[in-house]
Amino acid sequence: MDQTFLVHLAIPLAGYLSGSIPFGLLLGKFFTGKDVRSVGSGNIGATNVARAAGAWAGVLTLVLDAAKGALTVWMAGALTGGSATWRMMAGLAAVAGHCFPVLLKFKGGKGVATAAGVFGMLCPEAMGAAIVVFAFVVSVWRTVALASIAAAAAMPLLVYLLWAPRHAPPVAVSLGTLLAGALIIWKHEANIRRLLAGQEPRFTIGRNKDKSE
């Protein structure tokens, strides 16, 4: 079998498996001995881990979830001579792995931190602009979910406008960015319902918060 074919087959598979590593669940158990899926929102992402296990656990979850996205993109670039298309495919697979991890019966997080790592490698200028969007929304509304949705919605346009060195990204990158943004927004479906009902809680950090948070 052609070696190039095997490499191209392995890239998205490795991206998915890397994305599937549930760092939030592991860190939650390490810091508290509890399953973060039974605390707060039940999500394995950094926000809920911070609520359940404290700020340091949340920060570590954020860093590690972003790192698995970034390393996946780096690996794909190293194996394909820097191909933007394959880097995007690997990154999208990592985000999908985080959202639908095989190790947790396909019930995972919302993909925000992993996507941040992916786009931090693919288009750091766009990622920097998305962080500004995120920070602005959090500072005004103090709602992480709304900030995540806003950044995900803005990312396709930001990547298109800020892609370098070309004036526009390859079609595969544009499509992959749209899919990643759509997936992240879809994973926030429950948050969107609460936002529309005026019931989405503001972000707080602490241990053993009530489930309403």
User: Is the model's pLDDT at 213 over the cut of 70?
Assistant: no
Q: What is the pLDDT of residue 7?
A: 83
Q: At what angle do helices 23-32 and 55-80 cross, to 10 degrees?
A: 150
Greater confidence, 199 or 62? 62
Q: DSSP labels for 195-206? A: HHTT-PPPP---
CA-based nearest residue to 117, from 145, 95, 146, 147: 95
User: Rounded to an integer, what distance in angstroms lies between the CA atom of residue 10 and that of residue 85?
Assistant: 15
Q: Which tokens hold the place of 68?
A: 């698995």
Q: What is the mean pLDDT of residues 141-170?
A: 92
Query: Exposure of 45 by Cβ count < 10 A (0-12 exposed, 13-18 middle, 19+ buried)?
Result: buried
DSSP conformational letter for 202: P
User: Rounded to an integer, what distance in angstroms lies between the CA atom of residue 24 and that of residue 66?
Assistant: 12
Range in 44-53, 185-194, 201-210 with the lowest mean pLDDT? 201-210
Q: For 91-112, how does the pLDDT look when each residue is reduced to its tens digit (9 = 90+)?
A: 999 999 999 999 999 999 999 9
User: Is the model's pLDDT at 195 over the cut of 50?
Assistant: yes
Cα dihedral 50, 96, 212, 131, rounded to 10, equals 60
pTM of the model: 0.92
Q: Which tokens hold the place of 167?
A: 């004036």
Q: Which tokens hold the place of 108?
A: 């995972």
